[in-house]
Structure 1
Amino acid sequence: MHRKELAQILEQTLMAQPIKDFCPNGLQVEGRAHINKVVTGVTASQALVDKAVALEADALIVHHGYFWKGESQAITGMKKRRIEALLSAGINLFAYHLPLDIHPQLGNNAQLAQLLGIEIQGPMESGPSSVPVWGRLRTPLSGQAFADKIAKVLSRAPLASVVRDEVIETIGLCTGGGQGYIDLAASLGLDAYLTGEASEQTIHSSREQGVDFFAAGHHATERYGAKALGEFLAREHHLDVTFIDIDNPV
């Protein structure tokens, strides 16, 4: 497959063009023209780049790529070493941030909801590109039972603020660093809110507004979109795809 064809497939699948983001979505580093072997992962860290080089990949597709708004534009140090490794090996780097969070089937939110038994009902924000969504637990659970389920499914115990005696039926969801949406979850009358990270004020919001809160890890909640996207490319477009998980405790 030609690089341009893969770029078009990714663009059409993830509908990235109209989404305002903090980084460029799509091809970030150009490599060889022909693509057969693809590696997918969460973050284009040096460890993941090295794995892609070792596997002789033609393309690396990630959720967290490079060139974020607000960071230095200079290609030095860590950034220089990563990009140099990609260019030397002829590996294309594709990155999709918010488009890979919000895709209704392949996205991080959708994939995590499926794993945890949450049926997504709709967006928490107005407009077609809402990052947080809300849903209903297929089987309502107490806050502690839901925390236990997260720990079992994700193989990591979440930070949990269980403040309600009733079972959780409705829950807001935003993978990654979405802790700021807890107040929106409270305003919508949801029983609970799940994301990847927590801030100091998040726990106060949970306690004072009566919303159970769970922070299950930025990386742990975002492992599944890139994996699902790779499986889609292998199934529908016959590419050789390998998902590599570089563990991160955050």
Structure 2
Amino acid sequence: MDDVNQGDFFLTINTYHDAKRQVEAVKQLAQQNVDGIVVMTGQITNEMTTVLQQVSVPVVVQGQPSRHFETVNVDNQHAGELLVPLIANVKPTDVLLLGVDPTSDYNVGQTRFNAIIQALDNNMQRLYTTFDRTETAEIMRNYLETHSSPKYIIAATDTIALGALAALQEQHIAVPANTKIVAFDNTPAAEIVTPGLSTVSFDYFALGQWLYHRLKDLSQAEPVLTDPLLRGELVRRSSW
């Protein structure tokens, strides 16, 4: 957003994935007479929708689809479709979907997995965790105490995948020889970790540019409800 900034001043409020904090943040921004609001969130609750509809400035939502507001998102459905060829010849019971509860983030927790679930007839294992790498590692450790290591792990984010990788390596489970891992986002850590993490890459720099342009467009014209989706590409590394 800074790269395409046309002289605006950005005020950032971190709400730590807390829906109530997000609502309060929007209220605070509205009171400060900002020119527009970008909401980057895992969920648009009914309360959030009501508060945003009362705001008199342009609003753009990133992270979730919306019937009420302009949105700019990565194409999570297409990202999942990119992974389907990787599982074409595997047994569904050998696959572990490792992600967050869809009620906390539907796009990351469900949409990214939709194509995979459809391809494997929903017969794979599923384990919920958080966006925190350390917590994911602990959840994976507990899982391995009562389950054999899955042959394939599809993680909702790179950070989640790295937590799982740490737990597997502690148990001397070789990746990719015994367990293959693939994820989404292509964060810098995905390239430098050993083994390198296969992941779907999104151009988040371009996404930020889109967000700013969309917000500026809304301040100059009548809004047209559309949902531009930024597609990703699969980056193959040695974890799969």
* TM-score normalised over the length of structure 2: 0.32
Structure richer in strand, relative to its length: 1
